[in-house]
């Protein structure tokens, strides 16, 4: 008898507002005794939708029910709050009770890289410096939020809003990070080209890990400036900590003026405003860097290819699409994608035009094999329409609607907590 192959795949997209939460279910209808395999991809939010579930606990209960008490694997694409905040507290307990066998995370989350200093290999050292950089980034985000909290009146409303959102999303979600680390099951930390281990849990599934590249993989293509990025964040973090701790001044003994002299009244508010813009620029860079640690997963079974790139942005994609020795093969593989989870909630930098152009199933006609696109997002939370940075990016949404069978969590009916998409698998 031939080895089992899924006959259909159900993709459940949960309404979590600005966040991601998907469950993939692989059915083996021609094997009545074989149970359905389930994979949870991300579980977090920065703000639930008013029309959807009122808490992540309710979402977790729905996941448990949907999975019939059993989860095979969890994929955590990266550590942003809107992807992991459900992995803690009561919602975390419910997910843990589903006894997942495997947790997949990007290599940047490998705890050995962060703490194991006893293996002074070049690779480990480089990785350690990267994970230290992530910690520095969290510190910068926390400090920015603190600065925002204490001095917010100086910044414009737009800066305040964006800084608050990005700062919140980028602080270290310690409880969730530790929860994931302690989950009693096998953990794998993946990078471009690594084996996922999912094939053993989900028969008939072939998984391609297309990102993120490791420091070593990108070493050859990075310029010196990029290699200085960890130093940059280190100094940013030190500078930020100083601000946070600094109710103390830079020169404690120097005399200060309480009132603004008339000749400086034009300039000082401008300096305050520059500071706000500058903090926002730093936190935006930080947000992008963190997004670029995202796992890019391509699930292949029969004629179906499901692409889940988390929040990966152009720089992360760049390796798989351009610099990797197998980039041509990757492009060919991606050309045949049937379901695309739109990257980073539809932001302008997460669906590379090269990639979009390669999708052969893009089609303006409603055909059977038309590309399916899934967008989990909430408008008005992130970015700015005047600057053309709104999420989801309007131009992208227009293209998605025009050329694919488009599903957005914003279109889920009031009171509903999810949307199901089902695709048949043809192994011919």
Partner 1 sequence: MTARQMRTRYLTIVAQDPGLKLNGKILTERVAVPAECLDRGPLGNRVHVVDYDASTQTLYSPADLEASGAYEDAYLKPSSITILGDPGFHAQNVYAIAMRTLARFESALGRRVGWGFDSHQLKIAPHAFADPNAFYSRADQGLMFGYFPGHSGMVFSCLSHDVVAHETTHALLDGLRVGYMDPSSADQAAFHEAFADLVALLSVFSLKSVVKRVLSRDSGSNLVPASAISKAALKQSVLLGLAEEMGDELGAYRSSQDALRRSVELNPSRGLLNQSEFSEAHRRGEVLVAAVMNAFISVLSHRISQLGTVTGNMLDLNRVAEEAADVADYLLTMVIRAIDYTPPMHINFNDYLSALLTADYEIRPDDSRFHFRNIIRETFTAYGIDPIPTKSAEPGIWDHLESDVTYRGVHFSSMQHDPEEVFRFIWENRQSLNLFEQAGTRITSVRPCSRLSPEGFQLKETVAECVQTLSISVGELKRFKIDVDFPLSAHDEVTLQGGSTLIFDDYGKLKYAIGTRLHNWEKQSERLRLMVDAGCFDRETTALGRISALHTERFMDTHSHRREGWK
Binding site for partner 1 (CB under 8 A): 147, 151, 154, 222-226, 228-229, 231-232, 235-236, 238-240, 242-243, 246-247, 249-251, 254-257, 260-261, 263-264, 267-268, 270-272, 274-275, 277-278, 281-282, 285, 288-289, 314-315, 317-318, 348-349, 351-354, 384, 386-389, 393, 395-396, 399
CB of 304 to partner 1, least distance (A): 26
CB of 5 to partner 1, least distance (A): 35
CB of 233 to partner 1, least distance (A): 9
CB of 352 to partner 1, least distance (A): 4
Asked if 188 and 159 count as a contact pair (C-beta separation under 8 A), the reply is no
CB of 193 to partner 1, least distance (A): 21
- R_g over Cα of the chain: 23
Tokens of 188: 């794998």
CB of 402 to partner 1, least distance (A): 13
User: What 3-state class would DSSP assign to 302?
Assistant: coil
Strand ranges of the sheet holding 19-27, from the earlier edge strand across to the other edge: 186-190, 102-106, 73-75, 37-45, 19-27, 8-14, 418-424
CB of 211 to partner 1, least distance (A): 14
CB of 155 to partner 1, least distance (A): 10
Please spell the DSSP secondary structure of 143-176, one letter per residue. HHHHHHHHHGGGS-HHHHHHHHHHHHHHS--HHH
Positive or negative, the CA dihedral 243, 248, 254, 258 is positive
Positive or negative, the CA dihedral 355, 357, 362, 364 is positive
Angstrom CA distances, 199 to 178, 196, 206, 208, stand at 26, 7, 6, 10
Q: Of the two residues 115 and 221, which places its CB atom closer to partner 1 in the complex?
A: 221
CB of 398 to partner 1, least distance (A): 10
| 212 preceded by a cis bond (ω within 30 of 0) | yes
54 by Cβ neighbours in 10 Å (0-12 / 13-18 / 19+) ranks as: exposed
Q: Of the two residues 191 and 283, which places its CB atom closer to partner 1 in the complex?
A: 283
Sequence-ordered strand ranges (E) for 162-212: 186-190, 206-211
Q: Of the two residues 99 and 353, which places its CB atom closer to partner 1 in the complex?
A: 353
Residue with tokens 């309480």: 258
Q: Of the two residues 120 and 261, which places its CB atom closer to partner 1 in the complex?
A: 261
Neighbouring CB atoms inside 10 A of 239's CB total 12
Quote the CA–CA distance of 39 and 255 in Å, as a whole number.
62
Q: Of the two residues 120 and 262, which places its CB atom closer to partner 1 in the complex?
A: 262
Q: Of the two residues 90 and 322, which places its CB atom closer to partner 1 in the complex?
A: 322
Tokens of 304: 């179906």
Q: Of the two residues 251 and 368, which places its CB atom closer to partner 1 in the complex?
A: 251
Quote the CA–CA distance of 332 and 349 in Å, as a whole number.
22
Q: Of the two residues 175 and 331, which places its CB atom closer to partner 1 in the complex?
A: 331
Q: Of the two residues 204 and 212, which places its CB atom closer to partner 1 in the complex?
A: 212
Residue with tokens 């414009």: 156
């Amino acid at each position: 008898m031939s080895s089992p192959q899924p006959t259909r795949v159900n993709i459940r997209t949960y309404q979590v507002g600005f966040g991601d939460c998907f469950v993939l279910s692989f059915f083996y209808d021609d094997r009545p005794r074989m149970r359905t395999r389930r994979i949870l991809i991300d579980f977090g939010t920065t703000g639930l939708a008013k029309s959807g579930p009122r808490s992540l606990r309710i979402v977790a209960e729905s996941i448990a029910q949907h999975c019939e008490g059993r989860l095979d694997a969890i994929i955590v694409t990266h550590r942003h709050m809107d992807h992991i905040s459900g992995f803690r507290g009561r919602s975390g307990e419910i997910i843990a009770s589903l006894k997942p066998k495997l947790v997949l995370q990007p290599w940047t989350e490998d705890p050995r890289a962060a703490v194991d200093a006893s293996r002074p290999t070049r690779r480990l050292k480089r990785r350690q410096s990267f994970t230290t950089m992530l910690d520095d980034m969290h510190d910068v985000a926390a400090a920015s939020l603190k600065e925002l909290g204490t001095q917010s009146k100086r910044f414009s409303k737009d800066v305040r809003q964006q800084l608050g959102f990005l700062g919140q999303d980028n602080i270290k979600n310690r409880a969730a990070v530790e929860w994931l680390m302690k989950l009693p099951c096998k953990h794998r930390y993946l990078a471009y080209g690594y084996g996922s281990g999912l094939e053993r849990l989900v028969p008939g599934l072939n998984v391609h890990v297309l990102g993120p590249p490791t420091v070593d993989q990108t070493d050859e293509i990075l310029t010196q400036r990029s290699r200085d990025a960890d130093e940059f964040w280190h100094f940013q973090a030190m500078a930020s900590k100083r601000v946070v701790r600094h109710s103390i001044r830079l020169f404690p003994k120097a005399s200060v003026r309480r009132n603004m002299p008339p000749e400086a009244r034009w300039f000082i508010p401008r300096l305050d405003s520059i500071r706000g813009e500058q903090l926002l620029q730093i936190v935006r860079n930080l947000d992008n860097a963190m997004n670029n640690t995202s796992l890019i997963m391509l699930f292949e079974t029969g004629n179906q290819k499901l692409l889940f790139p988390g929040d990966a942005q152009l720089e992360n994609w760049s390796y798989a699409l351009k610099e990797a020795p197998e980039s041509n093969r990757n492009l060919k593989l991606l050309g045949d994608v049937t379901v695309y989870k739109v990257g980073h909630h539809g932001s302008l930098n997460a669906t590379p035009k090269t990639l979009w152009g390669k999708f052969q199933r893009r089609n303006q006609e409603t055909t059977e094999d038309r590309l399916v696109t899934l967008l989990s997002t909430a408008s008005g939370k992130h970015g700015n329409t005047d600057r053309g940075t709104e999420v989801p990016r309007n131009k992208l949404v227009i293209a998605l609607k025009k050329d694919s069978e488009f599903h957005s969590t914003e279109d889920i009916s009031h009171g509903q907590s999810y949307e199901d998409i089902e695709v048949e698998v043809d192994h011919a």
